[in-house]
Amino acid sequence: MDTRFPEGGRPRAEIDAALDAMAAGDVDWRGGRVPLYVFGATAEVGEVGRDAFMRFFTENALGAKRAFTSLRRMEEEVVAMALDLFHGPEGAVGGMTSGGTESILLAVKACRDGARARRGDPAHRGNLVLPVSAHPAFDKAAALMDLPVRRIPVRADLRADVAAMAGAIDADTILLVGSVPCFPYGVVDPLPELSELALSRDLWLHVDACVGGYFAPFARELGRPIPEFDFALPGVASISADLHKFGFCPKPASTVFFRDAARAAGRGFDLDVWPNGRFATATFVGTRPGGGVAGAWAVLNFLGREGYRALAARLLAMRDDYVAGIRAIPGMRVFGEPDLSILAFGAEALDMGAVAAGMEARGWVPGLVREPPGLHIMMSLLHEPVRERYLGDLREAAAEAAPAQGAAVQAVY
């Protein structure tokens, strides 16, 4: 690695060759070898998103109001389309962000600031009550805002335990969380029950649909047993949903929504003591790539409901085939009943760390889950053509693995 700032420029051909050489060491994500990070639909969908992104490669969404009104219109239309999808009531608002973590951070901040205003206490440290399976972004938000977090064990079916969460609520609780689906197990939490709990305790319920927000509605339309999870439930105050996951849009692109403007009031940043004048943003970041906005607008319009239903049908059929193949391996079981295309699975009698090592030796990046010890995959259509090879390698790796010794598998994402 050269750590010196280059004295002179390098030829374009040399730069391209160097980039190709560095990329040669990456795992073959296009060949379905990576269990997360990238999400593929069809080649045409990818081209639509890429071309729109590159068309607005230089534009900055920070200037959408004053300079790049095209981006403002596209973002407003993306938000409007999504609110239609998520049954947004009259007065619901939302915006685009850089990703699920930022969407969650904004929702937690809006909840915290709203709770402080209602209590008349600008320093109130309200706590968050969430299932142990909820995403670490909530803890990241809480760490930044100095808020206590209470993670509650899930039920035997790996879904949020609403009764246990109710028991953890106290006078300082401000936020409840449910996932669509949770990342560790791929199951959707019982949002109708969580909505009732939130209403009965006058609490903010955030639905983390970062993974499944642009997948679950179409799975429901196809008749899959996905419970209601969006603003159709009266207790839902906010929703996060990533466009760059199963919306199949270019990164970075996520969305966050609020039931009404009052709840959204605390999400952004507003400063009016600067020599340049007032500085206000609805996001944590300032500069935002215009390509992310344009790519999302293009893909949503290209696919429409019909296109997303077709992709959901393929994903769910693929998921069912993977589940059947995993269950056919002696001793192997899928954890819970996955609702979308995240699978976690393992075998109590096997050292799952050794199984993971066997998969890695065969060229796969093994996703891992610690409790219970197992493997983890979040599948898009990149994983459709490699199913038989994956299952064959998994069968071989399981056959080679030693008996379980009680050590937990570890993963760092």
In this predicted model, what pLDDT tens digit does every residue of 4-16 receive, in sequence order?
A: 899 899 999 999 9
Tell me if the domain spanning 50-299 has CATH number 3.40.640.10.
yes
Give the full edge-to-edge strand order of the sheet including 204-208.
Answer: 93-97, 254-258, 236-242, 204-208, 173-179, 127-131, 149-152
Q: Could you give phi then psi for residue 368, rounded to 5 degrees?
A: -130, 150
Query: How far apart are alpha carbons 331 and 348 in whole angstroms?
Result: 8
Structure tokens at 292: 């992310």
Q: State the number of CA atoms in the 13 A half-sphere of 350 facing the CB.
A: 25
Q: State the number of CA atoms in the 13 A half-sphere of 349 facing the CB.
A: 8
Asked whether the CA dihedral 300, 305, 308, 310 is positive or negative, the reply is negative
The answer, yes or no, to whether residue 406 has pLDDT greater than 70, is no
45 neighbors 247 (Cβ within 8 angstroms): no
Query: How far apart are alpha carbons 284 and 267 in whole angstroms?
Result: 9
For the chain, the structural domain boundaries read 50-299, 302-400
Query: How far apart are alpha carbons 51 and 294 in whole angstroms?
Result: 9
What length is written for the chain? 413
pLDDT score at 3: 82
Residues 6+ apart with CB under 8 A from 286: 62
Give this prediction's pTM: 0.95
pLDDT score at 404: 79
Residue with tokens 């729109």, as numbered in its chain = 52
Per-residue pLDDT tens digits for 361-393: 999 999 999 999 999 999 999 999 999 999 999
Per-residue pLDDT tens digits for 39-98: 999 999 999 999 999 999 999 999 999 999 999 999 999 999 999 999 999 999 999 999
The answer, yes or no, to whether residue 237 has pLDDT greater than 90, is yes
The region of weakest confidence among 120-124, 181-185, 276-280, 329-333 is 276-280
Q: State the number of CA atoms in the 13 A half-sphere of 326 facing the CB.
A: 20
CATH fold of 302-400, please?
Answer: Aspartate Aminotransferase, domain 1 (3.90.1150)
3-state secondary structure of 23: helix
Per-residue pLDDT tens digits for 112-164: 999 999 999 999 999 999 999 999 999 999 999 999 999 999 999 999 999 99
pLDDT-based confidence at residue 189 (cuts at 50, 70, 90):
very high
Residues 6+ apart with CB under 8 A from 5: none
The answer, yes or no, to whether residue 255 has pLDDT greater than 70, is yes
Fold matches, 50-299 and 302-400: no
Query: How far apart are alpha carbons 288 and 177 in whole angstroms?
Result: 27
Q: For residues 312-327, give the mean pLDDT.
A: 98
Query: How far apart are alpha carbons 100 and 252 in whole angstroms?
Result: 10
390 neighbors 364 (Cβ within 8 angstroms): yes
Instruction: State the pairing for strand pair 254-258/269-271.
Output: unpaired
